[in-house]
Amino acid sequence: MGPRVIVTRRWPEPVERLLAERFNARLNHDDHRMTRQELAESLRDFDAVLTTVGDELPEEILKGGIRARFIGNFGVGYNHIAIDSAREHGITVTNTPGVLTDCTADLAITLMLMVARRAGQGERELRAGVWKGWCPTHMIGRKVTGRTLGIVGMGRIGRATARRAHFGFGMSIIFHNRSRVDDAELRSFRARQCDTLEELLASADVVSLHCPGGDKNRGLIDRTRIAEMRPHSFFINTARGDVVDEGALIDALENGCIAGAGLDVFANEARIPERLKALHNVVLLPHLGSATEETRVAMGMKVLQNLTAFYEGREPPDRIT
């Protein structure tokens, strides 16, 4: 019957249909979130495990002696997978870069506009039936057009966000990136690379995170760095919750050290701190970055391409290990 493949969550229907047609696939019909034990059993009993961001695969379960040879992650970020262990044990891991760039950048812009123009707060007020009608001083936000956007991590999504902000809203772009980035596209909109993260944080009106999560960037935006941000600035995160010290961010929002935040990702999904939910100057979304029909289908198809290549003895196009 070919390789045994397990899909840890429900995937878009057209992708599940092809997986079931082409592989000996076990689907997760009730879409429950698998426990650590179930994930360990899946690695032990199946040839390929197709995961999502909610499936933690630490080195304790990604060890020698398991049956799985292939992990196809539905998503570009893979900080939930112990990549070094996978590499050490010869397990191929793939992800889905490219296809979610536009939608994630769109969502970063959505969050920026929502927080600056108090869209979430306004909608809550209206739905609660307490809006008294138009008046010149009601719910005044801040203009984003012409301001400075600071991008942390100038990869595909960072660039797509910069492009939208510059060409859509006339924003000046500054960015911070681990390595030097200098090319014709960035020069065409005069995006300026900051030497230090501190410099970016102290200069931007809006800071948007686009770097990977995991060990390398854990706590990158810590209490000291948040204190560098300008009091009128907004903080946007569509990357990963672990990049930020969430407690320090909440303190800064409560104390008015920064003006607001738009968050799509959290330190501990989906347990959102009550203090965060109580804040009016924050827009909170349930990890919707890639959540469009077009993108989610494309992500699934990309996993299918990688899986197919692997079992046909070809190089998977999006191999991480």
- Cite the active site residues: 240, 269, 287
For residue 70, the minimal CB distance to ligand 8YV (Å) is 16
Helix (H, G, I), strand (E, B) or coil at 206: strand
> Which residue, 208 or 290, is less far from ligand 8YV as judged by CB?
290
Within 127-171, strands assigned E span 148-152
Q: Which of residues 260-319 bind ligand 8YV (CB under 6 A)?
A: 289-290
Tell which residue, 74, 115, 131, has the closest CA to residue 289.
Answer: 74
> Which residue, 38 or 251, is less far from ligand 8YV as judged by CB?
38
C-alpha separations of 30 from 1, 7, 11, 55, 266 in Å: 24, 12, 11, 16, 25
Q: Which of residues 88-127 bind ligand 8YV (CB under 6 A)?
A: 100, 104
User: Is residue 199 within 8 Å of residue 229, measured between CB atoms?
Assistant: no
Dist. CA 137–CA 190, nearest whole Å: 36
What amino acid occupies position 305?
A: Q
Q: Say how many residues touch ligand 8YV, by CB under 6 A.
A: 10
> How many C-beta atoms lie closer than 10 Å to residue 315's C-beta?
9
> Which residue, 92 or 104, is less far from ligand 8YV as judged by CB?
104
> Which residue, 100 or 162, is less far from ligand 8YV as judged by CB?
100
For residue 103, the minimal CB distance to ligand 8YV (Å) is 8
> Which residue, 144 or 235, is less far from ligand 8YV as judged by CB?
235
Binding mask 51-90 for ligand 8YV (x = CB under 6 A): -xx--------------------xxxx-------------
For residue 299, the minimal CB distance to ligand 8YV (Å) is 7
The side-by-side arrangement of strands in the sheet containing 234-237 is: 192-193, 172-176, 148-152, 206-209, 234-237, 260-263, 282-284
Taking CB atoms, the residue at the shortest distance from ligand 8YV is: 75
User: Is residue 81 within 8 Å of residue 62, measured between CB atoms?
Assistant: yes
For residue 270, the minimal CB distance to ligand 8YV (Å) is 13
User: Is residue 208 within 8 Å of residue 151, measured between CB atoms?
Assistant: yes
C-alpha separations of 105 from 36, 194, 315 in Å: 32, 21, 29
For residue 77, the minimal CB distance to ligand 8YV (Å) is 3
Can you state the angle between helices 13-22 and 293-311, rounded to 10 degrees?
20
For residue 76, the minimal CB distance to ligand 8YV (Å) is 4
> Which residue, 52 or 172, is less far from ligand 8YV as judged by CB?
52
Name the site residues for ligand 8YV (rule: CB under 6 A). 52-53, 74-77, 100, 104, 289-290
